[in-house]
Amino acid sequence: MFENAQQESNPQAILVGVDTGEYDAEISIAELAALADTAGCTVLRSVVQARPAPEAATCVGTGKLDEIRELAEALEADLLIFDTELTGVQLRNISERTDCRVIDRTMLILDIFAGRARTAEGRVQVSLAQYQYRLSRLTGSGTALSRLGGGIGTRGPGETKLETDRRHIRSRITVLKHELAELEKHRKYLSRRRKKDGILTAAIVGYTNAGKSTLFNLLTRAGVLAENKLFATLDVTVRALELPDGRTVLLSDTVGLIRRLPHHLVEAFRATLEETADADLILHLLDASEPDIRERMQITQSLLNDLGCAEIPQIHVLNKADLVDYPLRNEPDTVWISAKTGSGIDTLLQMIAKALPQTAKRMRLCIPYTNGSFLQCIREEGKVFSEEYTADGTVIDALVEVRRQKAAEQYLLPDTE
């Protein structure tokens, strides 16, 4: 399982939620169970208490906490996972009263991220989020953090002990922010180069487990890990995708989103998510089989708006159409597909080609031998699919850049569309 949690082969967990009416607690606790499964936990039971607001000292009421302690003893659970962010005081009080290890939703997600980050930028972002989260919970946590030991919620930059000097943690945060800024600077330089060179880009965004990696693999044959788990992939992957009109676009697969994505993660991963803000086109992927598809669409759309992506063209891609028992509908900027069976992919590719800026056009030309310099420009700037030497000149089937199209019209062959 986890590299630094070998002594804990399979944590036995009880999930705990507080229903304040702010959000659908039932759906949220189901998502927490999926997160726990991704982290390698066995979920024994879920407990939800309806309250006007979380109890300041123990999150749930003391009576409910005693019930949870008795339940943990009866089921031999060794981990409590709370579906909300806990303060240092709450962590200490709950742990002492239940004699169980305690983590919250954010700590669980951070642990999953720590295990999935592969690139330098991904690892730095996870470490930064973990240090910032732990720093805010040092005060009042008593022995709660120090007794976490190895296991879920502790993986990444290492266990933060209470005696650790706050100045040291802040120093590490400063170093990590500097590293992240340097990595971001390099990524932005590459983005500017792509724009300058006229390279088209598109990004797949959407709720985690909607099938982003499966679609990405189908389109680009990238071989990215695709599992039926939340956050199966974390790092951004970029691959070339050839469109039906012969153009090539760089397609990126971004980190998945979930409800109530912790603020620490949104901030830490803003650099990665901003890759989407530089895209020429966004493929907003949705799981058509999910009953709460509209809510998931709003979650993704809200984050895209926060990142300044409101003006970027979007295609809504409804995946898993093979699991939906009603006929596919034709709606503007929407395509129904199944990344598993491949249905709808041709339509999607055509929509991508149509939605992207028309930087090049496929043309069939007969260029006289006396204008070899123009032919060479087309070869260097565009893409030649075929080339034939005839008595009248060189006949080529090629992508011609916008700035060359007017000059190319005089050589256009009659059968060119």
**Chain position carrying tokens 């003006």:** 311
Question: Within a 10 A sphere around the Cβ of 9, how many other Cβ atoms?
Answer: 9
Got the DSSP string for 151-175? STT--SS----TTS-HHHHHHHHHH
Amino acid at 307: L
Q: What phi, psi does 59 have (nearest 5°)?
A: 70, -60
End-to-end CA distance of the chain: 58
pLDDT band at 270 (very low <50, low <70, confident <90, very high): low
- Per-residue pLDDT tens for 366-385? 999 999 999 998 888 878 88
Contact assessment for residue 152 and residue 39, using Cβ atoms and an 8 Å cutoff: yes
**What does the pLDDT read at residue 4?**
41
- Per-residue pLDDT tens for 310-354? 888 999 999 988 887 655 455 778 899 998 888 899 999 999 989
Q: Which residues contact 298 (CB under 8 A, 6 or more apart)?
A: none
- Per-residue pLDDT tens for 56-107? 999 999 999 999 999 999 999 999 999 998 988 899 899 999 999 999 998 8
In order of start, what are the domains of the chain with their CATH numbers?
12-110 (3.40.50.11060), 199-355 (3.40.50.300), 360-411 (3.30.70)
Helix or strand (DSSP H, E) at 282: strand 281-287
Half-sphere exposure of 296 (CA within 13 A, CB side): 24
Q: What phi, psi does 366 have (nearest 5°)?
A: -120, 105
Tokens of 54: 């979380």
**Mean of the per-residue pLDDT values of the chain:** 81
Rama region for 416: left / alpha / beta (φ>0; ψ in -120 to 50; rest): beta
Tokens of 307: 């990142």
